[in-house]
Chain A
Amino acid sequence: MTSPSVPRVVGTSVPPKNWEERTSGTDAYAGDLDPPGTLTAHVLRSPHPYARIVSLDTERARRMPGVHAVITAADFPVDTPYIHAEGTHSDRHPLARDVVRFVGEEVAAVAAETAEQARAAAEAIVVRYRRPRRRPPLTMDAALKRRSLRLHRRPSGEHNVSVHDTGQWGDPETGRDAATMSVEGTFHYPRVSHACMEPNTTLAHWHADTGTLELWTSTQAPWFVTTEVAHVLGLDPARVICRDVAVGGGFGSKSKVCEHEALAAALSIAAGRPVRLAYTREEEFAATKPRHAFRVRLRSAADDGGRLRALDARLDVDNGAYNHYGPSIMKVGIKTLGSIYRPDGVAWDARLIDTALPPGGQFRGYGSPQVAFAMESQADELAERLGIDPIDFRLRNANEPGTTTLSGARLGSARLAECLAAVRDAIGWDEKRRDRRPLRGVGVACGMHGSGSYAHGGSNRSDAAVDLFEDGRARVRFGGADAGTGQRTVLAQIAAEELGLDADDVDVLMADGELTPFDMGAWSSRGTHMGGHAVRKAAAELAETVCGLAAEKLGSDDVRLAGGRAHALDADIALGDLVALSPDARDGALSHETSYVDPRMETFGGGNPRPNVSASYTFAAHAVEVEVDEVTGRVRVLDYVAAHDIGRAINPAMAEGQVIGGVAQGLGAALGEELVYESGRTVNPAYINYALPRAADLPPVRVVLIEGDEEAGPYDAKSVGEMPIVPPAPAVANAVYDAIGVRIRDLPITPDKVLRALAERDGRPARRYRIAARPSRWWIELLRRAYPFGVHWTLHRFGTRLARRVPAREIESVERPADTAGAVALTAAGGTAVGGNTDLAPQRQQRLIAPTTLVRLSAVPALRTITDRDDGALDIGAAVTLDALAAATRGRLDAVADAVESIASAQIRAVATVGGNLVQAKRCWFFRNGFDCYKRGGAACPCYAVQGDHRFYHAAIGGHRCQAVTPSDLGTVFTALDARVLLSGPAGDRTVAIGDFYTGPGETCLRPGELVTAVRVPASARDRRCVFDKLQLWSGDFAVVSVALSAAVTAGRWDGTRVVLGAVAPTPWRARATEAGCDGARFDSARFRALLDGELARHGHPLAGNDWKLDAALGMAVRAAGRMEGDQ
C-alpha cells in the first residue's frame, strides 16, 4: 500500500544535488568559509626521517607579529595517541613527542593573522634535534636488517615488523599436490598519492562559553573525526560538532582522521578564535598518508584442466612510520587471495614493516589492488602455460553465486562470468587476439570487493532520519559525508522513491554533529549499501506513518504516495498538508529516525577466521587495448572497457562515473604514478612532478553495468566505489605482455622499464661508454663511484649544514618599464626581469629566489613583437607569449609550433613568454623540492640525483657535480635552427649563438642586469626541414627526452644538418659527428643510426638508471630523421 513496486526515482540518472552551486563556483568548501576573526595556521614539520627532539623553544615565535597561538605536544594530554586501529596498534600522537619518525611529521603548529605570519612564526620555532648514529630504515629491506634503527617496540617481537601474520584457508597442500604447473614472481606496487583536488582543510571554531568545538572539515567520515579529535583533546565527543560542508575528493584518504583536524582544533582552543588549517599541495603529497607499497612474492599453481589449485603468497607491506590502518589494509590484501577465484587453498606469510617514511593510509581498494596485481598477472602467466585463453581461464575459476569464498565471503549474486563475457565482446577480444597488429595487445583482469565491512564495532549499523515539512518538501538527515561519491544524491533518490516525491523535493543534510544521527561515514564502499538501507528504512517507515494519516483523512485504507500527494481511490491530499495532522509533528515537520543493522555482516574481531564481513560482493572484469612505442617505451591506452556486477545502479550515470574515475586512478598507478623518496624526503611533492593522468593521457573509458537481483542490497544495489581501481594495473600489464611479450612486475610501467625489458628480450647488449678512455670523465666517474661509500652520506649529513639558504622576502614593487632601455636600467639596479611569471610563485615557494623588485617585460611593447626582418630572419621578442609564437610559426616553422604545443598547458602558454621559457631555472626535482643540493646549497652539498631517482629528468651525457638538464624545449628546437639570442644590458647590446647562450643546466651567459630581448631565427631556417619530438610522462610534462633535427635538403642531399637532443645533457646537446656525417649525402637511416649510436657511446656518461634515455633518444632521432625524409 505504500510505495509503488517499480522504482521511479531509483534507477534513474538524476543530476547531482547542488549541481547549480558546484558548477557556478558558489558551493562552499572548508577553505571558502571565512568567519570574522579567522586565523590561519601553519604546521612545523620534521626535516629528519628520525631524530630525538632535544629541545623545543617557541618563545620567539609567540612574540612575532600577528601570532595568537603556538602549540606543541605539551598542549595535548599525555599518553593519548590517536585510536586508529586500536589497542597496541595505536602509536601516533597529534604532535611529535620526543621523537620524530619521518620527514614531515608534525612538531608544532602556529595560528596567526595571515598565512605569511604563521609561516614565519613556525620557522622561528627553535627545535634542537639529535640524529641517531644508526641510519633510520628508509626501505623495507633496510628495516629488516638488525643493524638498522628500530622505530617502535612492537608486539610481534620482530625487528621493525609491526604485524606478522601467517595462515591459510582451505587446503593449499592438496592444491599444490594436485597442480601440474606453477608460476612464481615478485610484484611491486609503489606508494601512490590520492592527490585529491581539494587540499585537506579544517576550519575549527572553539566556543569557550559553551565548551563546544565546531569543525568544518574535508572528511568522508565525520564520526571518526569527532571521535578522534575528542579523544586526543580530552573533550566530550558530544561537544565536538562537525558541520556539513562541500568536500573535494577523498578516495579513502579522508575516511579516518587526517591529523589537521586535531591541530586546527587545538589552535582554536589556544587562540580563542576560529582557525583555518589548509595544507599546501606540497604537504598533500609529502605529509598525507599514501597507498601502502606492497611487495608480493606469489606462487600460483594450476592443474592441466586449467583449474587454479593453490596460491602461496609472501606479502611485505611498507607501513611507514606509524600504524594507522596498516594492519587492516594488510588483512584486506590477504583476503584478496581468497576472494576472486576458488583454488583448493591459499597460504600467506605477511609482514607489516616499519620504515621511517610517511605512514601509509587508506586508499580506495585498501590493499586489494596491490595483491590483485600479482594474482591477475599470474592468472595470465598460467593461462599461457596451459595454452588457454586468459578469459577462458578466468571463467573456469570464477567464484559462483551462492557459494562461500575461501576468505569467508558468502556470495549472494556473483556475476563475474557475465562481466568477462561483456568485456570480451566489447573490446573485440577474440578478433584482436586472432588478427594481431604489431605492438598492440589486449589484456584482461578481474577483481572483487565487498559492500561495506564490519571492520569496526558499529560499522554494521547506520542510522538515518527523514523530515517531512508542511511545504511538502522532505529532508534526509544522514551522518556520513559525501566527498564526491554522489551519496548525497543517491540518498535523496531513495527517500524520494519511498515518499513518492521527486529527488528535487528532497534536501539532504549530512555530517552535522547535532542534527544527523549515527553513521560511521563513507569508507569500505559502504555509502550506498549502509546509507541506502538506513534511508530506505527511515523513509519507508515515515511513508507508512504518512499513509496512516492519509487513510484517516481520506477515509480509505488504500493509499499510495505519488507526485507529492497521498492518493486514495477518489481523493487525494498533499503530503505537506498531512504533517499538521500528526500529533508527533514539531515546528512544522514530521520527523522519523531509524537504525539499520545489517543481518548478514560478521565482525572481523569475533575470533572467526573467515567472517562474512560484507553483506554483498561486487565483481568486475576490465579489458584494455594498449599500444607500445618500442622507440620510447611509452605505453598508450587505446581502448578500455569495464564491466561491473553492480546488482542494480541507483543512479546509473553516477555509478558509471565512479567506475570511470576509478579506472583513471588505476591507470595512473599502472602507467605513471609513484611517490619517490630520497633520504626519507619526498622527491616529487607537486602535480608537475607526479604523473597522474591528464585528459589527453586517457582514452574514453566504456562502462558496462551488469544488472540483476541482489537480495542483500537496497534496491538490489551493490558497491561501486572501490572496485574499479583494482583491475586496471594487471589488465594493462597483461596487455603489455600481449603486445611485446614482456612481463613487467614492477609498477608503474614507465618507458624506462619497457625499453630495458625490450633490450633484454632482444638480447641487445648495453652500450659501452669506455669511460676509462676518457680522462675528462674520470673525476666525475670517481665521485659517482664514491657516493655510496660515504661521500653522499657525509655531504648529506654534514655538508648540508653549510648550505646556502635564500631568506624569504616580500615583493616590494612591480615595475612597468616603458621600453627596453628602461627595463635594462631597472634590472641593472637590481630588479628581476619577469615574463609571464608562471615560475615566479613556485620558485619563491621553493625558496630558490626572493626578488623584491620585479620588472615586467610584458609591459614593453617592443619586446612583444615578432618581426620579419629585411634579411629574411625572424626576430621573436622575449615577451612574446608561447601562444603567439605558436600562431606565428605554424605553417612556416612547424617544429617550433610543435615544441610550443608540447609545453605545459593552454593556460600557461597564454601568458608564458619566449624569454622566460629560454631562461627558466632547471626543473631537477631535488633542486626544486627543498633538497639542500649542490646547486642550491653549494659545494659542500651532495647532488641527490646521483643515488636518487634520476631515470627521467637528469643528464645522461656530460653531467658534472649537478646532473640537471636545461628544461627549455625552445632551447632545443632553436638550437636546431641556428637561432641567435639578442641581449641587452648595462654595457650595451650583444648577440650570441644559442649554443653559447647556455652554460649549464638552466644557466645562461646573461651578465648581471642583462636581458634577453629577442631570439633571431635566421632566414636559412625557413628553407630547412625541421622536426621536433618529445617524450614526456604526461601531457604537458617537461621533456624526458626531446630531439630536434633540421637540414637543408636539396635533391635528397642533406646539408647543414643539426641533430639536437634535449633533456639528456646539461644543455641542448648537438651530435656534431652525426651532423657532419650526414652533410653532403643522401640520408641513409642505418648509417644515421650507426653514426649517432657511436657518438652517444663516445659522449654518453649515464647514471645508473638513465642509460635508457640514450636508447630512446637514438630511436627518436632516427624516427625524426625518417619524418624529415617523409616530408619531401
Chain B
Amino acid sequence: MTRSRRTELDVNGTVVEVDARPGEPLLSVLRGGLGLRGAKEACGRGECGACTVLLDGVPVMSCVLMVEEAEHGRITTAEGLAEEHRELRRAFAEKGGFQCGFCTPGQIVRAGALLDEAAGLGDEELRAAMSGNICRCTGYTQIIDAIRQAAAHRETA
C-alpha cells in the first residue's frame, strides 16, 4: 500500500496537517482525516457539484481535485462559509431552496461565489452558472429565487 504523506492544508482559515495518499481527492481528505462532512460525495466523478468547495475563492469539485493541487491554496468548505452566507442560507430555507438537503452545502458554496455578480445576471445566465450543481428535489426555481433574494439583501446591506 502506498504510504500516506503528511500534508499541510489551509482549510477554513486554519492551517492543518493531515495524512494524504498521493493523488488522493481533496474530498476524501476533508471528509476523512479532517472530519468535515459538509461536502458530500454523490458521484465521485465531478459531475454533480455536491462536493463543491472553494479553492482560493473559486468553486471547484473537490472529488476530482487532487490534494496536491490544493496544498498551496486556501480551501473553504460549507462549514467555513456558514456565517458569511447566513443570509443566503436563510433565503434557501425561506424560499424552499432545498428539500432533502444533500446537494445543499454544494449549492450554497457555488451560489455564494456568485452573489456579488448575481444581481447583474439574467435568469438564463444565473441558471447556467448553477448548472454544475444537480438538485433532484427542488426543480431549481426556488434555488434561483433564494440566490436573487440573498443578492438583493447584499446590495441593500
Which 8 A-B pairs give the minimum distances between C-beta atoms? A25-B38, A905-B132, A484-B100, A664-B139, A248-B102, A811-B23, A25-B78, A25-B105
Collect the chain A residues with CB atoms within 8 Å of residue B78's CB.
Answer: 23-25
Residues of B within 8 A of A (CB): 1-2, 21-23, 25, 35-50, 52, 55, 58-61, 63-66, 68-69, 77-79, 82, 89-90, 92-96, 98-105, 108, 110, 123-124, 127-144
Of A138-146, A196-204, A303-311, A544-552, which binds chain B? A196-204
With both chains docked as a complex, state the minimum distance between the C-beta of A267 and any C-beta of chain B, in angstroms.
Answer: 20
A701 within 8 A of B: yes
Whether A840 touches B133, Cβ cut-off 8 Å, given contacts A25-B38, A812-B22, is no
Q: How far apart are the CA atoms of A13 and B95 in the complex, in Å? A: 9
With both chains docked as a complex, state the minimum distance between the C-beta of B157 and any C-beta of chain A, in angstroms.
Answer: 19
Of A684-692, A931-939, A1074-1082, which binds chain B? A684-692
Tell me which of A26, A65, A247, A856 contacts B68 (CB under 8 A): A856
Collect the chain B residues with CB atoms within 8 Å of residue A483's CB.
Answer: 100
With both chains docked as a complex, state the minimum distance between the C-beta of B146 and any C-beta of chain A, in angstroms.
Answer: 10
A858 within 8 A of B: yes
Of A161-169, A289-297, A395-403, A649-657, which binds chain B? A649-657
Q: Assess whether B42 is in contact with A25, with CB atoms less than 8 Å apart.
A: no
Q: Assess whether B48 is in contact with A197, with CB atoms less than 8 Å apart.
A: yes
Collect the chain A residues with CB atoms within 8 Å of residue B42's CB.
Answer: 197-199, 248, 281
Apart from the given pairs A197-B136, A246-B100, A841-B25, 9 other A-B contacts in the complex at a CB distance below 8 Å: A24-B82, A29-B40, A248-B40, A654-B96, A694-B134, A695-B128, A841-B45, A842-B45, A908-B46
Q: Mark A892-907, 1 if CB is under 8 A from B, else 0.
A: 0000000001001111
Q: How far apart are the CA atoms of A18 and B43 in the complex, in Å? A: 25
Q: Assess whether A26 is in contact with B110, with CB atoms less than 8 Å apart.
A: no
Whether A22 touches B22, Cβ cut-off 8 Å, given contacts A31-B41, A841-B45, is no
With both chains docked as a complex, state the minimum distance between the C-beta of B43 and any C-beta of chain A, in angstroms.
Answer: 4
Q: Mark A660-698, 1 if CB is under 8 A from B, else 0.
A: 111111000000000000000000001110001111111
With both chains docked as a complex, state the minimum distance between the C-beta of B70 and any C-beta of chain A, in angstroms.
Answer: 10
Q: Assess whether B68 is in contact with A907, with CB atoms less than 8 Å apart.
A: no
Whether A812 touches B2, Cβ cut-off 8 Å, given contacts A23-B89, A25-B79, A249-B102, is yes
Collect the chain B residues with CB atoms within 8 Å of residue A694's CB.
Answer: 131-132, 134
Kindly name the residue among B44, B49, B59, B64 whose own CB sees the greatest number of chain A CB atoms within 10 A: B64
Chain A residue, CB-CB nearest to B83: A24
Q: Assess whether A696 is in contact with B101, with CB atoms less than 8 Å apart.
A: no
Collect the chain A residues with CB atoms within 8 Å of residue B100's CB.
Answer: 196-198, 246-250, 483-484
Q: How far apart are the CA atoms of A22 and B101 in the complex, in Å? A: 6
Q: How far apart are the CA atoms of A486 and B97 in the complex, in Å? A: 12
Q: Assess whether A686 is in contact with B135, with CB atoms less than 8 Å apart.
A: no
A986 within 8 A of B: no
Q: Assess whether B44 is in contact with A911, with CB atoms less than 8 Å apart.
A: no
Collect the chain B residues with CB atoms within 8 Å of residue A7's CB.
Answer: none
Collect the chain A residues with CB atoms within 8 Å of residue B66's CB.
Answer: 814, 834, 837, 840, 854, 856
Tell me which of A15, A664, A841 contacts B44 (CB under 8 A): A841
Kindly name the residue among A29, A696, A858 whose own CB sees the greatest number of chain B CB atoms within 10 A: A696
Q: Assess whether A907 is in contact with B105, with CB atoms less than 8 Å apart.
A: no
Whether A904 touches B132, Cβ cut-off 8 Å, given contacts A484-B100, A911-B69, is yes
With both chains docked as a complex, state the minimum distance between the C-beta of B21 and any C-beta of chain A, in angstroms.
Answer: 7
Chain B residue, CB-CB nearest to A251: B136
Q: How far apart are the CA atoms of A281 and B95 in the complex, in Å? A: 29
Q: Assess whether A695 is in contact with B144, with CB atoms less than 8 Å apart.
A: yes
- For this complex, 7 residue pairs linking A to B, each with C-beta atoms less than 8 Å apart, are A15-B90, A23-B108, A24-B78, A484-B99, A662-B139, A687-B48, A842-B64
Q: Assess whether A23 is in contact with B98, with CB atoms less than 8 Å apart.
A: yes
With both chains docked as a complex, state the minimum distance between the C-beta of A1113 and any C-beta of chain B, in angstroms.
Answer: 24
Tell me which of B45, B130, B135 contacts A688 (CB under 8 A): B45
With both chains docked as a complex, state the minimum distance between the C-beta of A291 and any C-beta of chain B, in angstroms.
Answer: 14
Collect the chain A residues with CB atoms within 8 Å of residue B82's CB.
Answer: 23-26
Collect the chain A residues with CB atoms within 8 Å of residue B129's CB.
Answer: 906
A813 within 8 A of B: yes
A810 within 8 A of B: yes
Collect the chain A residues with CB atoms within 8 Å of residue B139's CB.
Answer: 660-665, 693, 698, 701
Collect the chain B residues with CB atoms within 8 Å of residue A16's CB.
Answer: 93, 98
With both chains docked as a complex, state the minimum distance between the C-beta of B11 and any C-beta of chain A, in angstroms.
Answer: 13
Chain B residue, CB-CB nearest to A700: B141
CB neighbors of B among A784-843 (8 A): 810-814, 816, 834, 837-842
Q: How far apart are the CA atoms of A678 and B123 in the complex, in Å? A: 39
Q: Assess whether A907 is in contact with B60, with CB atoms less than 8 Å apart.
A: yes
Q: Assess whether B134 is in contact with A197, with CB atoms less than 8 Å apart.
A: yes
Q: Assess whether A810 is in contact with B38, with CB atoms less than 8 Å apart.
A: no
Q: How far apart are the CA atoms of A246 and B133 in the complex, in Å? A: 20
A882 within 8 A of B: no
Collect the chain A residues with CB atoms within 8 Å of residue B68's CB.
Answer: 814, 816, 856
Q: How far apart are the CA atoms of A249 and B136 in the complex, in Å? A: 8
Q: Assess whether A197 is in contact with B141, with CB atoms less than 8 Å apart.
A: no
Q: How far apart are the CA atoms of A834 and B66 in the complex, in Å? A: 11
Q: Assess whether B46 is in contact with A907, with CB atoms less than 8 Å apart.
A: yes
Collect the chain A residues with CB atoms within 8 Å of residue B143's CB.
Answer: 695
Collect the chain B residues with CB atoms within 8 Å of residue A837's CB.
Answer: 64-66, 69
Collect the chain B residues with CB atoms within 8 Å of residue A484's CB.
Answer: 99-101, 137
Q: How far apart are the CA atoms of A957 and B52 in the complex, in Å? A: 39
Kindly name the residue among A20, A814, A907 whose own CB sees the greatest number of chain B CB atoms within 10 A: A907
With both chains docked as a complex, state the minimum distance between the C-beta of B5 and any C-beta of chain A, in angstroms.
Answer: 9
Q: How far apart are the CA atoms of A811 and B100 in the complex, in Å? A: 35
Q: Assess whether B133 is in contact with A15, with CB atoms less than 8 Å apart.
A: no
Tell me which of A19, A700, A901, A1035 contacts B93 (CB under 8 A): A19
A27 within 8 A of B: yes
Q: Assess whether B110 is in contact with A907, with CB atoms less than 8 Å apart.
A: yes
Tell me which of A658, A810, A816 contacts B1 (CB under 8 A): A810
Chain A residue, CB-CB nearest to B105: A25
Collect the chain B residues with CB atoms within 8 Å of residue A251's CB.
Answer: 136
Q: How far apart are the CA atoms of A700 and B41 in the complex, in Å? A: 28
Tell me which of A661, A686, A698 contacts B137 (CB under 8 A): A661
Q: Assess whether A246 is in contact with B101, with CB atoms less than 8 Å apart.
A: yes
A280 within 8 A of B: yes
Q: How far apart are the CA atoms of A26 and B89 in the complex, in Å? A: 13
Collect the chain B residues with CB atoms within 8 Å of residue A250's CB.
Answer: 100
Collect the chain B residues with CB atoms within 8 Å of residue A23's CB.
Answer: 78, 82, 89, 92-93, 98, 101, 104-105, 108
Collect the chain B residues with CB atoms within 8 Å of residue A31's CB.
Answer: 40-41
Chain B residue, CB-CB nearest to A195: B136
Collect the chain A residues with CB atoms within 8 Å of residue B61's CB.
Answer: 838, 905, 907-908, 911
With both chains docked as a complex, state the minimum distance between the C-beta of B115 and any C-beta of chain A, in angstroms.
Answer: 14
Q: Assess whether B58 is in contact with A687, with CB atoms less than 8 Å apart.
A: no
Whether A657 touches B22, Cβ cut-off 8 Å, given contacts A24-B38, A248-B101, A907-B49, is no
Whether A700 touches B123, Cβ cut-off 8 Å, given contacts A25-B79, A247-B100, A695-B131, is yes
Q: How far apart are the CA atoms of A130 and B11 in the complex, in Å? A: 53
A1073 within 8 A of B: no
Q: Assess whether A198 is in contact with B105, with CB atoms less than 8 Å apart.
A: no
A32 within 8 A of B: yes
Tell me which of B35, B36, B105, B134 contacts A692 (CB under 8 A): B134
Q: Assess whether B132 is in contact with A906, with CB atoms less than 8 Å apart.
A: yes
Chain B residue, CB-CB nearest to A904: B132
Q: Mark A321-357, 1 if CB is under 8 A from B, else 0.
A: 0000000000000000000000000000000000000
Kindly name the residue among A27, A65, A198, A280 whose own CB sees the greatest number of chain B CB atoms within 10 A: A198
Collect the chain B residues with CB atoms within 8 Å of residue A25's CB.
Answer: 36-39, 77-79, 82, 104-105, 108
Q: How far apart are the CA atoms of A486 and B78 in the complex, in Å? A: 22
With both chains docked as a complex, state the minimum distance between the C-beta of A562 and any C-beta of chain B, in angstroms.
Answer: 25
Collect the chain A residues with CB atoms within 8 Å of residue B104's CB.
Answer: 22-23, 25
Collect the chain A residues with CB atoms within 8 Å of residue B43's CB.
Answer: 281, 686-687
Collect the chain A residues with CB atoms within 8 Å of residue B93's CB.
Answer: 15-16, 19, 23
Collect the chain A residues with CB atoms within 8 Å of residue B132's CB.
Answer: 694, 904-908, 1036
Q: Assess whether B142 is in contact with A696, with CB atoms less than 8 Å apart.
A: no
Tell me which of A687, A701, A814, A905 contacts B141 (CB under 8 A): A701
